[in-house]
Each structure stands twice: as structure tokens, then as C-alpha cells.
Amino acid sequence: MAINKTEKIWHNGKLINWDDATLHVMSHVVNYGSSIFEGVRCYAPPKGPAIFRAPEHAQRLLDSAKIYRMDVEFSRDELVAAFVDVVRVNQVAPCYIRPIVLRGYGQVGVNPLNSPIEVYVVNYEWGKYLGHGGDGVDVCISSWTRLAPNTMPAMAKSGANYMNSQLIKMEAILNGFAEGIALDANGYVSEGSGENVFLVRKGCLMTAPLGNSVLPGITRESVIQLARDMGIQVVEQMIPREMLYIADEVFFTGTAAEITPIWTIDKIRIADGTTGPITKALRDEFYGIVNGTAPDRFGWLTPVPMRQPVGV
């Protein structure tokens, strides 16, 4: 997906031109991967653009910053206001919002503490990440292991973690799969390169707990909430690889992937190889809320005031 540039980018509290959001090659982040970021979706229901779970994304950004001892001088609410600002100013919705906190141009060497913290919020058009028109995807188990505990913190959404994700993704694509599912250091199911994984077995919805090196996905949490609300039993438990193959349904969740059914894993068909009823029910509920055809009963949407109707 090529990037379609917008007019303005939010930088440390000010709106700057897209083309001015540049970095020096000797910035700490370029050399040592010292960034944390978020991926947030802004939907465009008929009532006007609405950002999905903006405070939760801003909080996860601040949590990632805390883990890496990055002092962010903006509060959760100020960050949410920045998300709203870029969408409003650029008049692009639906869109993807990319907040980034990085260590900029300061000192050489690994010690990050003397390089300045820069905060950016960018937005741009973005469509579906995986699958085509709601179809399921064919995936593999990756030969790459997800981050081992006490190495790179999986609960932080740091740029550097995505070097591991890139290995998983490249291997999957080059072998003809849409995505890879990584196992954790003990061989239990962890997550996709950019998605959490759920399975359904005997009517029970299961996903790996945070101790299995997964990002605390905001879509993951939303799906758990929706499922419980629909009376579906949900358990967070360690999942052996083989349980995926014999599941009744398997799907990914993520801001980009939303809820994407998985039809085959390692060329093994999951049940009859189509989208299962619980996946369908959760998707319908999820899209109902974000597309404005069902009430926002959990208060998940932050409206964006726009000057005029927009589209992409």
C-alpha cells in the first residue's frame, strides 16, 4: 500500500506540513530503533468520522513510553485531541492514524537518555489489511519465535519489535501465505506479525494470555468484551500449536486486520474452511458499531467534527 500524503502532521503540539516532518539520519531512532507507536482507525459512519478507542490507544502509547523511560510531555487527553486534530485538519476519513514517539537527534551511542523525545501524529487513507472483501486468509506457523520474555517487552508497541514481525511477515509472504502466526519461546501460540489470534473450540472463545508474548491488542480486548456481552464463554489460556489445527474457528484481530477469519493454517483446513458462526457474529457486531448501524453501546467512538462531508 503506497502512502497517500495528507496536508498536515502534528509534531510536539504544532501542525506542520507533511513534507517538513523529516529526521536526521543520525537520529537515535534510525540507529537503534528507539521508537514506540500506535495504529488507530478512524471510521466514517454516516453521522461523521469517529476514532475507534482513541483513549485506549493513547494510553497504550504512554504505557509503551513508560516501559522505555521516554518522558512524553503530553497527557492521554492531549494525545486524543491530537488524533482528532489531524483528521479534522486533513479532512481524510476513513483513515489510519499513526502516532509515533521517537528519540531524535542528540547524542551518538546506545545510551538514549540525551536524545530528545519527539512526538508525531500522522493520518492517511488506508483500506483492508488482510483478506479481500471479508474472505478468510491462508496462514502458516512461522519458523520465527516471538520475542522471549525479558528480552524485548512484547507489551510495548515499539518499532524495534517489528523487526521480528518483519521476519514473520516476509517468510509467510514468500511462501505464499497471507500471514504467519508466531509461537512464543516455549512453543505456545503467541500472535501474528501484527494481529492477535483467537480460536473457537466447542463454543468457547480462546486467546493467548499476555504472558505468551502478545501485544495487549485493543481489538483483542474489544472482541473479548463483545463476546462476553453476547454470552460467549471467553478464556485466556496457553494454546498449543496443534489446537489451532483442530479448532472450529480461528481468526485474527487487530486495528489493521479488524476481525479476519483464518481458513487454513499450514495448508490444514480449519473445520470446513469457511468463516464460522461465532466469527461471523462477532464481526457483525463489531462492524455494526464502527459503521454506525448499531449503537455505540460501549462508548468506543470519539467523534471528529468536520467542516464538510469527506470521503476517500
Active site amino acids: 157
| Residue 169 makes contact with ligand PMP by CB under 6 A | no
Residue among 306, 178, 312, 307 at smallest CA distance from 251? 178
| Residue 217 makes contact with ligand PMP by CB under 6 A | yes
- Stretch (H or E) spanning 85: helix 76-90
Choose between 88 and 220: whose C-beta lies nearer to ligand PMP.
220
Residue among 49, 38, 43 at smallest CA distance from 304? 49
| Binder of ligand PMP out of 125, 184, 195, 285 (CB under 6 A) | 195
Residue among 188, 206, 185 at smallest CA distance from 197? 206
Query: Which residues, 6 or more positions from 280, have their beta carbon under 8 angstroms from its beta carbon?
Result: none
- Residue 151: count other Cβ atoms within 10 Å of its Cβ: 10
| Residue 218 makes contact with ligand PMP by CB under 6 A | yes
**CA angle at 236 for the pair 232 and 237, rounded to the nearest 5°:** 125
| Binder of ligand PMP out of 180, 194, 261, 276 (CB under 6 A) | 194
Using CB atoms within 10 A of its CB, is residue 272 exposed (0-12), middle (13-18) or buried (19+)? exposed
Contact string (CB under 6 A) for ligand PMP, positions 118-157, x = contact: ----------------------------------------
Q: Which stretch binds ligand PMP (CB under 6 A): 190-198, 234-242, 243-251, 289-297?
A: 190-198
Choose between 255 and 264: whose C-beta lies nearer to ligand PMP.
255
Of residues 235-264, those binding ligand PMP (CB under 6 A): 253-255
Q: Which stretch binds ligand PMP (CB under 6 A): 44-52, 171-179, 188-196, 233-241?
A: 188-196
| Residue 285 makes contact with ligand PMP by CB under 6 A | no
8 A C-beta contact, residue 127 and residue 1? yes
Tell the smallest beta-carbon distance from residue 24 to ligand PMP (Å): 27
